[in-house]
Amino acid sequence: MRISRNTNKNRNKKSKVFPRYMQEKLAITVLVITLALFALVMVLYNLMTHKKEDFNQIVLSQQQYDSRVIPFKRGDILDRNGTYLAASEKVYNLILDPKQIMSDPDAYLEPSVTALTECFGYDRNEIMNLIQEKKDKQYVRYTKQLTYEDKTKYDKYKLDKTKALKKEKKDIKGIWFEDEYKRIYPYNSMGSKVIGFANGDGMGGTGGIEQFYNTTLMGINGREYGYLNDDSNLERVIKPSSNGNTVVSTIDVNIQKIVEKYINEWEQQTGSKKVGVIVMDPNNAEILAMADDKSFDLNNPRDLRPEFTPDLLRQLGIKEAIDDFKRKNKDAQPLTEETVTQHYNDEQIISLGTQVAWNQTWRNFTISDGFEPGSTEKIFTVSAALEEGAITGQEVFDCNRFLEVGGHKIKCVSRFGHGPITVEQGLMKSCNVVMMRIAQQIGKDKFYKYQQMFGFGSKTGIDLPGEADNRSTIYTVDNAGPTDLATNSFGQNFNTTMIQMAAAYGSVINGGSYYEPHVIKQILNEQGAIVKKVDPVLVRETVSEPTTKFINEALFKTVNAEGGTGGAAKVAGYKVAGKTGTAEKIPRDKKNYVVSFCGYAPADNPQVLVYVVVDEPHVEDQPHSTYASQIFQKIMADILPYLNIFPDTDTEGAPSGDGAKLPEQEGITSETTAASEGDGTSQETTAQETTAAVPTLENGQTVAPEDLNPSEEYVNRQEGDDSELPASVPQDTSESLEGESQSIEETTAQ
């Protein structure tokens, strides 16, 4: 019985070895482990679903792998009708894998080298040595930009040889092709300044649309990566590329060809320092064509033009080296032509000169270079006066050869004077005296208010890179004196650009709407759907409809009526209107000129505007507006029929009457009295002036009618001429405008 009790006692003791509190701890531990395992599962699940690609790359980076970029295709550039101006063509880079070839040289080396020599004509010894020298490399780019035909030829060769090589236990290995895109320009140099060009890798553009819309044209590179297994087979993971968008421009290929045809004809027959042409729709400021005489091959943009001889490159390089040293060493003694070789060797000088030559070649004269516009400015002087009621348009002024202002005897374009002359005739005959008198009646405040409204002194905002900023070369109400007001009224002593002038003209002749000039209509995605439509941007209203009608009538007579200076711009059967311009360049004593013509058609409903500027014609007697008018006439004669603008049968003669009759609205009528704020009514507006005598020569003879009614604008400066035209623009120091222009040209193209 004792034994039995002891046994029960022991059993009770044994049952108490794992007490309750320990059971609770064990349960908690199991629960924690279970929760930890659950959390680990969740983390692994998250990694597999959200971080898979990142960890794949980490794993692959620790193994033997092969990786390559899948290039995007840069977006195309089209003209307004869908013609390709720039496109990207797929090409192939030949890649060698010496490590794979040399993994079994007896089996792979000879067949692979033979394939390269027979398909592409490469030097056998060169390839053999390359493979052996770089036997540890897996990626050697041997040749760039092979064509599809080249690749197809190799693929066919390999397919034909595979069976025979396998019998010999050999194979072609370690040769593959990498996709790439090559930028091509189907029309070579056509439209080079407005299109621009893409860099070799397609990642950036230089000049034109290629630069301004670079982010739109660019895509995103893809990636192919993976690892090589034991059989040297590539296990791939591919992230596809995203191609760039297509840009549809406002340029018309056919109009661009016409413009460049006549620029080239001018350069071959006469030539000039510079010539530029803009063709624009004045109703929305779309640029239809834009060109200058310094075109270049977009497919080979770094091939220099013939005029850049080694001697010229050296001269440009020396000047740039001097400027470069000055920029980098502001406190040091400036270099001279004699000391420049102490700091720059010949190779560096030629390199700098080449860069300057490239920049001069790629520079877009029509938007990047400022110049004094001359008489094309006169429509803005008249427009401002009409808008402010300073004149009615019916006034008669007396032009007696010159007007003395601020101590300067400022002459008219006619050395004989025009005698009694109306406002309309002042535009037709391009009379400086009329414009100076009108500017006096407007007053300084209102004149420069309208200069600003017409966009002078501010960028137009055109969607092209390199637009000049002329703020420092234009007068304002704060810094202009009486002489500045006088000379600015007829387009001297301030700078503008061609695109500023074209945009301002468009606003005056279209009824007063100033649009931002632009070269893009639409942006399309890879599937051809419209991503963005570029609508015309109305910036401001400049003039009223009556002013537009007055100017259009006057400029129609400038081209078509007797005494108008734009006769050379006539196009048979069409109502062409326009204004000539002849600007005397700084320094004035060098007798260099910029001649221009800005015209449009039809005069009563403008559909197309053409602006031509010729800088320093290569002739002894430069200041003939006819040089620009004739280029305009040839261009307009070709593009009007192309644009389906039909001839008008009522253009045989000019409208009758000496003055333009203004519509009787908005307070501008033929009965409205001339008003002037602050200056008082000019004595030239009195009735006595209508009976002023016709100008006579010093011997008393009457001036010949052809001298009073010239067929062109011609600044006829005689020997000993005592006229004084100020020789500076705002903030212009001792250096001439010519020097400023040169420094602008040598700025690096962005």
Indicate the domain borders of the chain.
68-249, 368-643
**CB contact burial 371-382 (16+ within 10 A = b; e otherwise):** bbbbbbbbbbbb
Report the distance separating Cα 592 and Cα 196, nearest Å. Answer: 31
Can you tell me whether residue 544 is helix, strand or coil? coil
- The per-residue pLDDT for range 546-600, each reduced to its tens digit, is 999 999 999 999 999 988 999 999 999 999 999 999 999 988 888 899 999 999 9
Report the distance separating Cα 569 and Cα 157, nearest Å. Answer: 64
Weakest-pLDDT range from 500-504, 519-523, 727-731? 727-731
| Residue 58, φ and ψ in degrees, nearest 5 | -65, -45
Q: How does DSSP assign 445-502, residue by residue? A: HHHHHHHHHTTTTS----SSTT----GGGS--TTT--HHHHHHHTTT-SS-B-HHHHH
Report the distance separating Cα 619 and Cα 133, nearest Å. Answer: 64
**Fold adopted by 68-249:** Penicillin-binding protein 2a (Domain 2) (3.90.1310)
Report the distance separating Cα 272 and Cα 292, nearest Å. Answer: 11
The H or E element that residue 131 is part of is helix 124-133
Helix axis angle, 105-120 relative to 124-133, nearest 10°?
140
The strand pairing partners of 90, in sequence order, are 181
The H or E element that residue 408 is part of is strand 408-411
Give, in degrees to the nearest 5, the angle at Cα 460 between 457 and 466. Answer: 95
> What value does the mean pLDDT of the chain take?
84
Confidence of residue 653 (pLDDT cuts 50, 70, 90): very low
| Residue 331, φ and ψ in degrees, nearest 5 | -95, -5
Fill in the DSSP letter of residue 375: G
Cβ proximity of 623 and 614 under 8 Å:
no
Is the confidence at residue 348, as pLDDT, over 50? yes
Contacts of 50 (CB under 8 A, 6+ apart): none
The alpha carbon torsion through 128, 129, 135, 140 (nearest 10 deg) reads -80
Give, in degrees to the nearest 5, the angle at Cα 157 between 156 and 161. Answer: 115
pLDDT at 698: 45
Confidence of residue 743 (pLDDT cuts 50, 70, 90): very low
pLDDT at 413: 84
- The per-residue pLDDT for range 180-191, each reduced to its tens digit, is 899 999 999 999
Radius of gyration, alpha carbons of the chain: 38
- Whether domain 368-643 has CATH 3.90.1150.10: the reply is no
Q: Check residue 667 and give left, alpha or beta (phi > 0: left; psi -120 to 50: alpha).
A: left
Average pLDDT over residues 524-538: 94
- The per-residue pLDDT for range 612-632, each reduced to its tens digit, is 999 999 999 999 999 999 999
pLDDT at 239: 87
Which residue bears the tokens 């550039």?
77
Taking alpha carbons only, the member of 195, 189, 386 closest to residue 303 is: 189
Pairing mode of beta strands 234-239, 222-228: antiparallel
